[in-house]
Amino acid sequence: MTEAEQRDFIQKKESKILKGNIAAAYAAKSARVQVISAYPITPQTTVVEKLSEFVDGGLMPGTQYIKVESEHSVMASIVGASIAGTRTFTATSGQGLFYMNEMIHWAAGARLPIVTTLASRGPAPPWNIWADYFDVINARDTGWMSAFCSTHQEIYDEILMSYKVTENPDVMLPKFVAYGGFVLSHTSKPVMIEEQDLVDKFLPPLPDEEGWEHIFIDPERPMMHGNLIMPSGFYMEFRMKIHDAMVRAKEKIKKVAEEFERMFGRSYGNGLVQEYKLDGADVGIVIYGDLALQMEQAVDELRDEGYKVGMLKLRYFRPFPEEDIRKAAKKVKVLGVVDRATAFGSPTGGPVSSEVKSTLHNSGIETKVLPMISGLGGREVTLEQQKDQLKILVKMNETGELPDDLLYGTLWHGKLEVE
Amino acid sequence: MIYFMVLSGMENWRLNKIMTSLKEAMNEACDEHFLPGNSCCAGCGLELALRWAMKALGDNTALVAPASCLNVVVGLWPKTAPDFPFVNMAFAAGAAAATGFDAAFKAKAHRFPQGPWKDMTAMTFAGDGGTTDIGIQGLSGAAERNTDMIYVCYDNEAYMNTGIQRSSSTPHGAKTTTTPFGKQQYKKDLPRIMEAHDIPYVATCSISEPLDLYDKFKKAKEIKGCRYIHILAPCPPGWGYSSENSIEIARLAIKTGSWILYEVENGVKTISKPSKRYMDPEKRIPLTDYISKQKRFSSVSEKTLIELQNQVDKNWKKLASELKCQEEYL
């Protein structure tokens, strides 16, 4: 439980014991989404089951829920509904996200503020349905923002914050909110479901009758969208604007996290990252998603044992918070990066460690970076293993020694013993 | 329950019978929504199909165009020929995107009851590749959900936009760039598949019969639920005939009986007027009259020709027995 959660619990404010998926469904309800489209996939399914109860039970009046026949149609119908000027929501996982990939690009290209939650799971084959962030990372270059959650409360909160960021006229980009399959989606914890009045005050109003500024369906103002555009047209400029918006989104994310804290009392660092005991640390570890929660405890215990260790929880993968990474790297001599995802053939470790390395490149920061890969496909990552990861960094700092089982410069931590 | 639906369907069918005369059409169908200056080829079947469809549907129609010639002929950015909301869409996404439109219109009608939203028609206008091949899953899903939309397939019997490759709607024996010696398989009968979805309205049209097409779209506009309209839309470069002959070629398809105009309203099938007389095999002209005018059939063998003619005759026999059976249970 985060500090804010504990405080709320103590204050006996109304909280519910909810699974991560159910928290996501409550967030969609709190955000008054107007169109939901979904297709079942494990481990996301209970999000859309709960929403069916809400919609069919009359708790979300006016909301349209399309139960389509595939994920490709999920995103196609969401794109259609968003173009027509409604607030939209869907949820998916691994293979489902891969199948909707074409429409993912469409959503970003059309600059639609769609929010999609991912109960992230490992890609097949072999079939895998457990926590692994490869699915969201695979969508890196689609123009979608992507955030990781490490607690149940954070799922609810992040979805609310997402609508405020995506619907900002300076951003207008879709966004993924990813959390580990089963490890968060199917476990239960207390979650504060905020009062509707407060949520309404926090979020921007639902799109008005005219729809979005840049795209709309209005018989009075007929508009054509998505024409073929010649190389001499503005295609390149449109792409550049997506990049611009993504970079610009960083300031908005920070601002929204601040406003969120003011209104609801829960803090998520500066929105992009959360530092944990990095001040005065010799070594630090960059980590994201559910693994970050337990890593806090590993840091605490090692601190108690006298090790100067700290952690940087990465909340956003896109836009990537390079300033915060540099700031954190300056504080320590060795920085580990734990990926719960792969980047096959990458010379710089997993996907996030590649970003960290390229962020530090040519920055004049001498901090050494050790890429680690851990917990793929839901492989259990114990507290002891995480303490071990920190100790490897401490040893590396003290002796300059690298672990002897590095695979192409990356430590695959927590492998099975093979004879 | 089903029996009741069929009966009420019958009644609707009688009430909804629309027959626009040429004179009436001259008066009421003057509005143009698919405007001149588009970049269709001369004699393009698609252009006539969309132009007449929009004359019937008029304002308050929003169109989704999955990948097809339509994406290109409406005009390169920033030029646009349609004067109604028009959204280009990914190939397989036609039906689902219109489903999204429909959901959004309903959500907006809830919030803004005074607005035009409850009167909006979501329409997908797709080619035969986008319908019978890559789009069939989404279309079947939308039909099963009875989504409130009109789905139109303009059928030029191949992937014309990408340079005349075969689709599952290409007829047996036709040459395309991927069937250089003629297609071995037969044309997929999509209207029949849509009929099997038990949606409120299925119709076939031809660009050579604009009044029939106009009537069918006018009728479709008034019906709620999923409506499917399949239009035969010849393509001069793709089929290999001179562009001034588009209407004649499309008409020959009807006269030879290889393209049958009919509609299925709430499960009740009726042959449309232009095709009615060809129920009598004596009235149908030989298929060669249609085939010999198109270069795509230039290398059709005697054997293939017989096969094609047999296919036409078989289709009509099937249809006749179906209608007979229908008479009995109605």
Q: Do A69 and B82 touch (CB under 8 A)?
A: no
CA–CA dist B328, B330 (Å, integer): 6
Q: Do B93 and A81 touch (CB under 8 A)?
A: no
Q: How far apart (Å, rounded) are the C-alpha atoms in residues A131 and A341?
A: 9
Number of neighbouring beta carbons within 10 Å of residue A200: 15
pLDDT value of position A418: 79
Is the pLDDT reported for residue B15 higher than 80? no
Q: Is A184 helix (H, G, I), strand (E, B) or coil?
A: coil
Check if the beta carbon of residue B138 is closer than 8 Å to that of residue B165: no
Give the CA distances from residue B130 to residues B125, B168, B169, in Å, rounded to whole numbers and listed in that order. Answer: 9, 10, 10
**Yes or no, beta carbons of B96 and A76 under 8 Å apart:** yes
Q: For Cα atoms B22, B24, B27, give the angle at the middle one, nearest 5 degrees.
A: 110
SS3 (DSSP) at A11 = coil
- Binary contact (A225, B86; C-beta < 8 A): yes
Residue entry with tokens 């393009």: B44
- Read off the pLDDT of each residue in A370-387 and give the average, rounded to a whole number: 97
Q: Residue B4: what pLDDT?
A: 42
Q: Quick one: pLDDT band at residue A94, thresholds 50, 70, 90?
A: very high
Q: What is the CATH number of domain B2-329?
A: 3.40.50.970
Nearest to B93 by CA among B139, B145, B133: B139
**Residue A86 corresponds to which amino acid?**
T
Q: What are A159-188's pLDDT values in tens digits?
A: 999 999 999 999 999 999 999 999 999 999
Phi, psi dihedral angles at B108 (to 5 degrees): -75, -35
Average pLDDT over residues B10-35: 74
State how far the alpha carbon of A278 is from the alpha carbons of A187, A191, A387, A388, B86, in Å: 29, 28, 16, 18, 53
Q: Reduced to 3 states, what is the DSSP secondary structure of residue B278?
A: helix
- Residues of chain B positioned with their CB less than 8 A from the CB of A216: 85
Q: Measured between beta carbons, which residues in chain B are less than 8 angstroms from residue A64?
A: 103-104, 106-107
Domains (range + CATH), chain A: 3-264 (3.40.50.970), 273-413 (3.40.50.920)
Identity of the amino acid at A258: E
Domain boundaries in chain B? 2-329
pLDDT digits (tens, 9 = 90+) for A307-350: 999 999 999 999 999 999 999 999 999 999 999 999 999 999 99
Testing the interface with B: which of A32, A55, A63, A68 to mutate, by most B Cβ within 10 A? Answer: A68
Cβ-Cβ contacts under 8 Å for A186 (sequence gap 6 or more): A19, A20, A21, A43, A46
Burial bucket for residue A385 (CB in 10 Å: 0-12, 13-18, 19+): middle
- For residue A227, give how far its alpha carbon lies from the nearest alpha carbon of chain B (Å): 5
Farthest CA pair distance, chain B: 64
Nearest CA in chain B to A86: B104
Nearest Cα neighbor of A246 from A348, A109, A116, A119 is: A109
Query: ipTM of the assembly?
Result: 0.94
